[in-house]
A = this chain, B = another copy of it.
Amino acid sequence: MSANPWDCIIIGAGAAGLSAARQLSRNGKRVLVLEARDRVGGRTYTQTAQCGMPVDVGGQWLGPGQNRALALAAELELSLWPQPQHGRNLLRLRGKLSSFSGNVPALSLFSLLDLQINIWRLEAMARRILAEAPHNSAQAADWDRITFAQWMHRHVRSRRTRAMFHAATHAVLATEPEEISMLQFLFYLRSAGGLIPLISAEGGAQEQRIRGGAQQLSEGLASMARSRGAQIRLATPVRQIDQDEDGVNVITDSGTERAQRVVIAMAPSQAANLEFAPGLPTQRRQLMQRMPMGSVIKVILIYDKPFWREAGLSGEMVCDEAPLRMTFDSTPPDSEQGALVGFILGAEAARWSEQPKAIRRGEICRQLTGYFGKAAGHPIEYIEKDWCDDPFAQGCYVGLMAPGVMSRLGHVIREPVGRIHWAGTETATEWNGYIEGAIQSGERVAREVMQVL
């Protein structure tokens, strides 16, 4: 059929690239996956603590509606653990520490009403976004003129409610609301089915954890692809992609590979570092130049026991202070030790990224002592992953768009360029930015490539 050694070369061995590899190899295609890192999994990454506890320093949770990821976990016979929910949550906003049970935060009636009204507003707006083509939504131009911060400024009355939305933006997009277009914010909500599913544990995106860690999803996909003949080469960064009439050459430091088609399953800002011949179309290049990554440092603190439970606390904390903006209980059900997972997010992450680890650790222990008591200051292990300085991600969770970008350039996000096809969670129409979106994008791109092979 073709003289080229590979049917498809996939660049990037995260959940997106490996889903594509699995689908294509299952359909009898000769697939080569090239990955710059020395591991698969991309923005999921499971490490093992000294005490033996597996800890996810990248993507961690699954939830209802993430059907592809849940099905994959079931297929791989991975156990799911519910996110611990018992006990009172902590909220510290504008200097005031309070605690509450369940989903209704400790706000005044006025702030709560303000919160509820504006969540309704946002969800109603999000329903009017076209998930397949947000740039063509009826009000795309208007919503792409402002940032989410400006929308808040106009619509949210209570300062504490505003702080809640600020925290939600940090939690969900790892950026400041001042930097993200309202259109991308609404699209993000739309692709997940609303704001509540994004910020909730029970019934939402943080409902389930994977026993043994989320990276197993990618490892499982890699095994399935390999068993159908796909080759996966780690530690092989791609430098250049040259298209000609008969195929594509993919150039790495260790040689050139040739295929019928190429799938780029990388974050757009990372793909911008590749060289292309012929050059990519201008709007494609401009889009990749205009999707900087969010900012997050993920921290896991392991204690000899989950001491907060004795005080009736859930381990869940949201605040407007530094360094950590939020924590959750991350203790495995079968563990004696307790674990808290915390996040430094947005502008704070970029600043704290430049500090030595010991300073970050010290400040975090000091901060958590103020919320959870003395025991919080004495973890037996401190593990962190600064995604801001990860050389192959340059930030997390996803590529962000400032005002004007999505309405002007959003139409090229999945548009193939000759023999080059695009995957990655940023190209997803469902659960954009999540593991689920990565898998969706990989399956979609595999269908796209199958049609032309």
Contact = CB atoms under 8 A, between A and B. Distances in A.
Interface of A: 144-147, 149-150, 153, 176, 178-179, 269, 272-273, 279, 281-283, 285-286, 289-290, 292-293, 295, 347, 349-351, 353-354, 386, 388-389, 391, 394-395, 402-405, 408-409
A179 B353 contact: no
A354 B149 contact: no
Contact of A179 (B150, B176, B402): B402
- Give the copy number: 2
A289 B394 contact: yes
A153 B141 CA distance: 14
Nearest to A181: B402
Contact of A178 (B144, B150, B389, B391): B144
A282 B402 contact: no
Given A150-B145, A273-B273, A403-B403, A394 B176 contact: no
B282 A388 contact: yes
B354 A282 contact: yes
A242 to B, nearest CB: 14
Contacts of A347: 408
Contact of A394 (B147, B179, B285): B285
A411 to B, nearest CB: 11
Nearest to A281: B354
Contacts of A150: 145-146, 150
B408 A282 contact: no
B354 A283 contact: yes
A146 B147 CA distance: 8
A147 B289 contact: no
A178 B405 CA distance: 9
Contacts of A179: 402-405, 408
Contacts of A178: 144-145, 403-404
Contact of A295 (B286, B295, B403): B286
A282 B353 contact: yes
Nearest to A387: B282
Nearest to A276: B391
Contacts of A408: 176, 179, 347, 350
B282 A350 contact: yes
Given A279-B389, A389-B279, A391-B279, A147 B286 contact: no
Nearest to A278: B389
Contacts of A292: 286, 289-290
Contacts of A153: 145
Contacts of A285: 388-389, 394
Contacts of A279: 389, 391
Contacts of A273: 272-273
A354 B281 CA distance: 6
17 contacts: A145-B150, A146-B150, A176-B404, A178-B404, A179-B408, A282-B354, A282-B389, A283-B350, A283-B351, A283-B354, A286-B388, A289-B292, A289-B293, A290-B292, A350-B409, A402-B403, A402-B404
Contacts of A176: 404, 408
Given A147-B403, A178-B145, A403-B179, A286 B350 contact: yes
A53 to B, nearest CB: 28
A447 to B, nearest CB: 26
A286 B153 CA distance: 26
A410 B404 CA distance: 21
